[in-house]
Structure 1
Amino acid sequence: MLDLEVIPERSLGCPEKSWEFILGMHFSQAVAIIQSQVGTIKNVQVLYSDQNLLNVDLIINIPLSGMRLIFDPISQRLKAIEIFNMKLVRLRYCGNYFNSPEILPSIEQIENSFGSTHPAVYDAVKNSFALNFRGLTFYFFVDSKTQPNQANHGLSSLHFGPGNSPIVTRMTLYCGNSFHECKAPALPISCYNKQLYVESATVIRNSSGTKGLRLNIFTEGSVRSLEARKQCFTRDVLFGDTCQDVVTNLGAPSRVFYKSEDKMKIHSPSAHKRVQRKSDFFFNYFTLGIDILFDARTQKAKKFILHTNFPGHYNFNIYHRCEFKIELNPDKTEQLNGNPINVTAYSKWDAISAKFPSESPIVLHRSSSTNCSNIFGSTFCYGYQDIIFEVMNNGHIASVTFYNTSSQNVFSNWAGIGNQQQINKHNEFEIKIN
């Protein structure tokens, strides 16, 4: 049974073991905590809507601990924590228990632990009432022995006889005054972990194609005072930049991955030639949602891959979402009015492809290095100018690849889309699709 400390409007966690679920933390950070507590937190489920990814909350369900972590579907940051079975967890506030096998969370116990608050809100339809504190709500079930008293307004506005005090059935923790109006807060500085995060990414393009990326980045500033502060800056990463240029602008990558095999070389005119050469390599920036491919010979950047991190994709939870914006300028032969097309991480392929012609896609199927099947199925890769769009079955864009046409054969650019290091993050989770 988990033994957790409640901090309204902030977190729920176990200070003795130095972990806590903090409101505003990214989905991947919560998963990392769960994986670190693999012997304690078990039977984890990821719940999402496959056809309505941007409007339905992303949820980590932990039924054996009676807990749900609710994430905003767009920012993918933690916006609320729900305890739906109070009997499966111990809870304390300021070091004092208010819920455990020995202590029932009655309305008197909640009042003694948290103090006075506004009158309870009675719901006659659900036959329940809610007791609201800032950042915290307790829900009670009203049975035949507990009747609302219309004459009083306060904690005692519900009248109950001796031994019939209502017990908390559910608790929610969030930021703000109301659970129904709560939003995921900004990523707390305590969750920065000395990493870089992208606020927005603009693709730099002109009439001849893509030149590079302009990244608006934030991170933890230098600690010259007692309080760490957010620091923002802008960096450009361009085709032809060397490894040293990229590291100077973005810092060391999360990982470096060397390509071992190019399975798309069969499309090249010289595919039959066995040429021994060094391996191209990727800089993986997981918290930026970006991969950068470097040429093995020149060690200069020749490909950028931007990830959207949608649930239902093979690489989900490896990257943070890259908040990119692309402005495409179709040729007049493709579109008579020549109006630019704006593409973001939330655009759907049907809306994009309707504005310019596209050829039949290449089907991309990934499989785990442990010979496990890919439960999410194949994705489809569409080429346009110097861009490759990887599209999921539900029409959402999984990744966008930009390649330098001046240095590569077009066929070789279909290889290496997505996470270049085949890491299956789902093997400890049960995935449920609504």
Structure 2
Amino acid sequence: MISALDCDLRPGSGLGIFELGSSLWNTLDLLRRLQHAFPHADIKYDQDASSTTPIVVHIRPHLDLLFSGKQQRLHTIVLRKLRHGDPPVTLRYKDTVLSSPDNVLKRVSVSRTFGPTYPPPGDDLRADLRYPGVWFSFEEDGMGDGLKGIQSEDRMHEVKRVIVSQKELDGEDRDALGEPVECPVMDGDISSAIVKVHEGVDLYFHPVSTAQPVNIRLGETTAQDLTIDLGPPSRVHYKEDDRMTIHSATRPTDSSEAAYFYNYFQHGLDFLLSSNHVVTKIVLHSNIPGSPLFQRYKRCNWEIESTPEDDEDDTPPRKRFYDRFETISHFLSPRDPPPSMLLDRTDDEEAMTLPSATTRLHGYDGIILEVSESSQVVAVMLF
């Protein structure tokens, strides 16, 4: 463990190594690579709505990172226990040391560094100081209720928490559970993936205003196309598991005709390529907390698109990753859901134990849904 936590404050942008707008997948991967500096991290979420729940990553003892529910993007950073806990904290702003083991951050110090600011509407007795992109609180937890009635002109109040969020452009408070606005750290990430059954997927990237979609087509797109459009894969995995061929109505192909996967963990995508290097299957992952594949893949914000009901309809109907299985199933087929297969991804992971380790595979014409016990679709496969 490091002997001290030294971090720079960037209002509206980030704190230390953490950048607002970063994905949950990238952040947890960063923490995994820096276990010597951050050995204790807890992930908290609502198990009843894990596909859309905001996620809090608590890095003991000083940091709370709040990620948005749908895009899984870093929304808010909270730095607490400035004067307590191990390791000690040094907080800097530009060339100024705001807080350290030898410097107590007080109200007067904040005012000297950042200047005057407006009081929160209706809370003129509160001691909190809010500036664009950063908020200084004078109590350990809560939103300042314990300080009501204490006159805000007490210059010696000690800062207990520092909260960093994106700056407001319209003067209104940002939704604490909303989505971060698009920012440079998102550039190159997939903003949405439009799934078209029997065809393929259209990938849209950040920045949304300038990027052209990448069209991946079943039976047409080649391995070379993927490398040109998406870059080299994170991993190339040769398909060795042929257990599903027992359910095939046709005779299994010769195993010498090796198929292989291109794994793009950073995009939440897998592509199965045939022996002649053409895409035959596409897998899109939802990265749902508590599922066996959580954090192996970044969340892919997929939407299944159907044909418009009439020629004048410019907005084809879609179902999204956070819709419940029953809703998506009826969208794909109005009849009763097809028979399902039980899948336990922990069968090959003896050390892994999860409260909901099993999922079910529901097959439709051209598409398979992998569904959790709580009716959340954890992955989509096109074939």
Question: Under TM normalisation by the shorter chain, which class is it?
Answer: 0.7 to 0.9
Offset at residue 320 of structure 1 (A): 2.6
Offset at residue 373 of structure 1 (A): 2.4
Offset at residue 176 of structure 1 (A): 2.5
2:277 — aligned with what? 299
Deviation string, structure 1 residues 244-293 (Cα, Å, up to 9, x no partner): 2333343322221111222223334688x995424310112233322110
Offset at residue 233 of structure 1 (A): 1.3
Say which SS state the counterpart of residue 266 (structure 2) adopts.
coil
1:215 — aligned with what? 203
**Where does the alignment leave 5 or more consecutive residues of structure 1 unmatched?**
14-19, 150-156, 220-228, 330-339, 404-434
* Aligned pairs (5 A) from 1:24-423: 24-53=21-50, 56-64=53-61, 66-87=62-83, 88=85, 89-119=89-119, 129-141=127-139, 148-149=150-151, 157-159=152-154, 165-177=156-168, 181=175, 183-186=178-181, 188-190=183-185, 192=187, 196-205=188-197, 210-218=198-206, 231-241=210-220, 242-268=222-248, 276-296=255-275, 298-328=276-306, 342-354=318-330, 355-367=334-346, 371-375=350-354, 376-403=356-383
Letter of the structure 2 residue corresponding to residue 181 of structure 1: D
For 1:230 and 1:121, locate their aligned partners in 2 and report how far apart those are by CA, in whole Å. Answer: 35
Q: Is the 8 A contact 2:340 2:360 kept in 1?
A: yes
What count of residue pairs does the alignment treat as equivalent? 355
For 2:44 and 2:327, locate their aligned partners in 1 and report how far apart those are by CA, in whole Å. Answer: 27
Letter of the structure 1 residue corresponding to residue 241 of structure 2: E
Q: Is the 8 A contact 1:284 1:290 kept in 2?
A: yes
Q: Is the 8 A contact 1:50 1:394 kept in 2?
A: no
Q: Is the 8 A contact 1:128 1:140 kept in 2?
A: no
Offset at residue 341 of structure 1 (A): 6.5
Deviation string, structure 1 residues 129-178 (Cα, Å, up to 9, x no partner): 311111111112499999645xxxxxxx4347xxxx22112221101257
For 1:143 and 1:236, locate their aligned partners in 2 and report how far apart those are by CA, in whole Å. Answer: 52
1:423 — aligned with what? none
Letter of the structure 2 residue corresponding to residue 130 of structure 1: D
For 1:248 and 1:102, locate their aligned partners in 2 and report how far apart those are by CA, in whole Å. Answer: 53
Residues 145 and 359 of structure 1, relative CA distance in 2, 3 Å threshold:
closer
Q: Is the 8 A contact 1:147 1:158 kept in 2?
A: no
Residues 248 and 40 of structure 1, relative CA distance in 2, 3 Å threshold:
closer
For 1:179 and 1:321, locate their aligned partners in 2 and report how far apart those are by CA, in whole Å. Answer: 27
Q: Which is further off, 302-311 or 84-93?
A: 84-93
Offset at residue 319 of structure 1 (A): 2.3
Letter of the structure 1 residue corresponding to residue 41 of structure 2: V
For 1:122 and 1:218, locate their aligned partners in 2 and report how far apart those are by CA, in whole Å. Answer: 38
Higher strand share: 1
For 2:131 and 2:253, locate their aligned partners in 1 and report how far apart those are by CA, in whole Å. Answer: 70
Which of structures 1 and 2 has the bigger CA Rg? 1
The TM-score normalised by the length of structure 1 is: 0.73
Say which SS state the counterpart of residue 323 (structure 2) adopts.
coil
Offset at residue 104 of structure 1 (A): 1.2
- Which of 10, 14, 19 is equivalent to 2:13? 10
**Where does the alignment leave 5 or more consecutive residues of structure 2 unmatched?**
308-315
Q: Is the 8 A contact 1:286 1:319 kept in 2?
A: yes
Q: Which is further off, 137-146 or 172-181?
A: 137-146
The TM-score normalised by the length of structure 2 is: 0.82
Q: Is the 8 A contact 2:261 2:273 kept in 1?
A: yes
Q: Is the 8 A contact 2:361 2:368 kept in 1?
A: yes
